[in-house]
């Protein structure tokens, strides 16, 4: 198996690894919410940070839907540039989100991880989707 043809399964595995970690954070977000709060906090502070993390994780799941739709539809499955970008981004996300969970990082760091590791590949997936559908020739 050449390096180029091994990008497809590697991309799929890193996408799924990132997805599993995001779902795990979603289920057990209480510790991460508490890490975002000062020692003295009110219930309103807790609810605000919890809502912020829920929104961030939900938007991330939406980005996964976009990227998996492009991947499974075949639009970007064999695009080597998108596969390599997605592979690097989701592998980086899996590693940094593991640190996010185990080291109990602040909630604002999740937005940086989201921007570079979820939003960027999904936006490029959207551009590819538009380019492929826009270049599609009309039937004669």
Task: For 61-107, write each residue's pLDDT tens digit.
Answer: 999 999 999 999 988 888 889 999 999 999 999 999 999 999 989 99
Give the model's pLDDT for residue 132. 86
Distance from C-alpha of 15 to C-alpha of 25, rounded to nearest angstrom: 16
Distant-in-sequence, close-in-space partners of 106: CB < 8 Å, separation ≥ 6: 35, 36
Average pLDDT of the residues of the chain = 91
Quick one: how far is CA 124 from the chain centroid?
13
Domain span holding position 97: 7-135
> Is there a contact between 140 and 85 (Cβ–Cβ < 8 Å)?
no
Number of domains in the chain: 1
Q: Can you list the positions of beta strands (E) in the chain? A: none
Distance from C-alpha of 42 to C-alpha of 62, rounded to nearest angstrom: 31
> Is there a contact between 125 and 66 (Cβ–Cβ < 8 Å)?
yes
Question: Is the model's pTM score more than 0.85?
Answer: yes
Domain-embedded: residue 101: yes
Domain-embedded: residue 2: no
pLDDT above 70 coverage of the chain, percent: 94
């Amino acid at each position: 198996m050449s390096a180029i043809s091994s990008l497809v399964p590697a991309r799929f595995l890193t996408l799924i690894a990132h997805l599993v970690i995001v779902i795990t954070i979603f289920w057990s977000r209480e510790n991460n919410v508490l890490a975002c709060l000062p020692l003295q906090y009110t219930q309103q502070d807790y609810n605000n940070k919890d809502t912020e993390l829920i929104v961030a994780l939900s938007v991330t799941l939406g980005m996964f839907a976009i990227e998996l739709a492009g991947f499974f539809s075949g639009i970007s499955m064999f695009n080597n540039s998108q596969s390599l970008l997605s592979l690097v981004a989701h592998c980086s996300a899996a590693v940094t989100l593991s640190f996010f969970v185990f080291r109990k990082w602040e909630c604002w760091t999740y937005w940086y991880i989201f921007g570079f590791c979820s939003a960027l590949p999904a936006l490029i997936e959207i551009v590819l989707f538009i380019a492929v559908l826009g270049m599609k020739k009309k039937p004669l």
